[in-house]
Chain A
Amino acid sequence: MDFAEREEEWALLMRGAIAGDGAAYHRFLIAVAPYLRATARRQCVRLGRGGGDPEDIVQEVLLAIHLKRHTWDQGRAIGPWLAAITRNKAIDMLRRRGRQTEVPIENFIEQLPAEPVSAGEEAGDVDRMLAMLNPRQRDIIRSVSVNGDSIREVADRLEMSEGAVRVALHRALKALAARYRSDAK
């Protein structure tokens, strides 16, 4: 599959996701991650030791894609949108590592082969950021991610309404992104 076809498929999935199709959204994120990983690895290899763990970039970019998905104009190709977000977050990452931001970061996403998930898939930054959230937010994020709980299950366990859990989860993800951001200053 060449890049144009891939991009068309991603766009299709994302349109479904924006229309409320959770399964399409899951497939979209899983499909995009290997390309983000390839871009991130290239970035880290170039910087050598201290360039950081590529998976940290992958996870931060996924979070940004999630929170900013309404800024993708459905009439436009999705590749440039993904590339711009990836580039922006890679720059933040460099700032966090105290690197100069003049290092050129091209929009690689089009040229690179996908990099499948490997054993080194786990990333540390996100845990560090999670540790800075309040316990309730951390608990909710951990439940739906690591444990794979549904909103319903979390609501029952914490004796909250489902609506309140949804709101709390969304706020927690925004708080997580804000943590990454303040860390990059």
Chain B
Amino acid sequence: MRTEELINALVTDEPSTRKRFDLVLAFAVALGALVAGSLFFLAIGFRPDIDEAVKSAPFLFKFVITLSLATSAIGLCSRLARPGVPTKEWGYALAIPAILLALAVFAELMLTPSSSWKPSLIGSNSRFCLTLIPLLAVGPLACLLLALRQGAPTRPGLSGAVAGLAASGIAATFYAANCTDDAPLFVATWYPLAIAMMVVVGYAIGSISLRW
């Protein structure tokens, strides 16, 4: 077939009615958050002392971490899915939650006696953390991957992994409202482990299903 003939076929195909990709992604994030939120409020719920907790800085700080993770990963997803759009700044933005958490751990180590480090790190919810974050992340990850398929990610595996990160950020935001362990040492140990699982899942699915 000659190239001009192929062009005839492309022009004959109906005009694109697809929505702009950023709208598709925004919808996926909203739907994913709705799915995770429903699961959270129906099956998990706030921690019993939530009224007291909202006055405590370490509790609130967890949301700074999870929300900055979700925001930067969603921003990076949006750029990875559009060919030729620079991704560097948003890649760097992913370091923000990591740096904030590292600073908080450093502060905890400076301010608390070393005898409290181990109990603080082990906490009492590590098992919930490792199961509930991935569980809450499944819905958002599915929504994000479906949205990415509407885009054109030139690096499918990486895009899937970042979708896993974004989904975990959304999931961890809900989970943090249930978890009674607020110590930065706990958050820095168990949350990343749970998140890493979803990153691996996202990478594996992405490298197969996000090619175009």
Q: Which residues of A contact B (CB under 8 A)?
A: 17-20, 22, 25-26, 29-30, 33, 55, 58-59, 62-64, 66-73, 76, 79-85, 87-88, 117, 121-123, 126-127, 130, 141, 144-146, 148, 150-151, 166, 169-170, 173, 177, 181
- Majority-rule SS of B interface residues: loop
A148 to B21, CA, bound (A): 32
- Are B4 and A30 touching (Cβ within 8 A)? yes
Per the CB 8 Å criterion, the residue count for chain B at the interface is: 32
- Are B21 and A166 touching (Cβ within 8 A)? no
Residues 82-109 of B contacting A (Cβ, < 8 Å): 82-85
In the assembled complex, how far is the CB of residue A136 from the closest CB belonging to chain B, in whole angstroms? Answer: 15
**Residues of the B chain whose Cβ atoms lie less than 8 Å from the Cβ of A83:** 84
- Are B212 and A67 touching (Cβ within 8 A)? yes
Q: State which of B6, B7, B8, B82 has its C-beta within 8 Å of the C-beta of A73.
A: B82
**Residues of the A chain whose Cβ atoms lie less than 8 Å from the Cβ of B7:** 26, 29-30, 33, 62
Residues 52-78 of B contacting A (Cβ, < 8 Å): none
**Residues of the B chain whose Cβ atoms lie less than 8 Å from the Cβ of A71:** 21, 81-83, 151-152
A145 to B4, CA, bound (A): 8
Q: Which residues of B contact A (CB under 8 A)?
A: 1-16, 18-22, 81-85, 150-152, 154, 211-212
- Are A88 and B154 touching (Cβ within 8 A)? yes
- Are B15 and A84 touching (Cβ within 8 A)? no
Query: Do A144 and B8 form a contact, CB below 8 Å, given A70-B16, A73-B85, A84-B83?
Result: yes
In the complex, which residue of chain B has the Cβ closest to the Cβ of A140? B9
